Amino acid sequence: MATPTPTHLAYQHDAKLLTLQTTIQSLRPFPETEEANRALFKTATDDDFVLVTKDTIFHPQGGGQPSDEGNIFPAGADETTTESAVLQVLAARMDAVNDGQVLHLVRCTPTTNLAALSPGTPVLQVVDAAKRLLYSRLHTAGHVLGSAVRHLLQHTVPGFDELKASHFPDSASCEFRGSIDGSYKGAIQAQVDDYIARAMPVEIEFWAEADFAREGVLHLLPDRALLSPGQDKFRVVRIVGAEVYPCGGTHVERTDLCGETVVKKISRSKGQSRVSYAVVESQDKC
């Protein structure tokens, strides 16, 4: 049996790309997928399918960012209304069995013709643009918050370090090692506001280990086991004038495009702190 080909992650190179023509590699009924992969999709039904394509613009859930959603259309479709979609993309996850593949949980629509969706068939992927923008704003805002807290407190809070983050709309937060007193909330908010107002560019780069050494951030070097098959460089997101983060998520192009970002609460437990935040959903900039 041929080794499955890793999915090209088009969204990692252009987060503003909302449509992409690609080809089907496989389309399987959900119950026929591997047990480890079925476990990735908690809301799937036995009537759903799992789709693998050569490329994808759908960000799979991971790294604290929710999964993209959207639709699959016939290749070359001029009309991309929901009614003309041949499949609805409910969620995406990284394959738990085949390294580097992205699995799309899809549901049939009234226009679905399964016989016309065989391997090699060209299709058009269309991401839900409103959700993609919201998730990108939240993810960039999380990095802005992390950078603001580090700038203010790394030399003040004993044992300080950045840990993990969630960029989900209803639970966005950044976690830190060390106890951050609630009295810092105002200063953190002011620093976040400053970074956003400065419209700092957000740049995507791909680094080898030598690049981390050159930048003096070897402590940020991820485990090489996290590299996708065939890759030899790590994707990093640089907020120009602030921090750089190894990151596979989608982002807005400047910090001001995060929109208003509100520091909601600082909580502490067992020597760690969580700073929760939200972005105001009304956003006219693009």
What is the Cα–Cα distance from 142 to 150, expressed in whole angstroms?
Answer: 12
pLDDT at residue number 282: 63
pLDDT at residue number 285: 44
Let me know whether 25 and 47 are in one domain.
yes
Last residue within a domain, chosen from 112, 127, 142: 127
* Exposure string for 8-23, b = 16+ CB within 10 A, e = fewer: bbbbbeebeebebebe
Let me know whether 105 and 147 are in one domain.
no
Secondary structure class of 238 (helix, strand, coil): strand
Class of residue 232 by CB neighbours under 10 A (exposed 0-12, middle 13-18, buried 19+): exposed
pLDDT at residue number 2: 59
Secondary structure class of 214 (helix, strand, coil): helix
Let me know whether 50 and 155 are in one domain.
no
Let me know whether 123 and 98 are in one domain.
yes
Last residue within a domain, chosen from 96, 127, 158: 127
Whole-prediction pTM value?
0.93
Residues, the chain, total? 286
User: Helices marked H in 117-219 — which ranges?
Assistant: 129-153, 185-197, 209-214
For the stretch 17-40, pLDDT in tens is: 999 999 999 999 999 999 999 999
Q: What average pLDDT score do residues 121-136 get? A: 97
Structural domain of residue 59, as residue ranges?
8-127
- Number of domains composing the chain: 2
- Residue 286 counted as domain residue: no
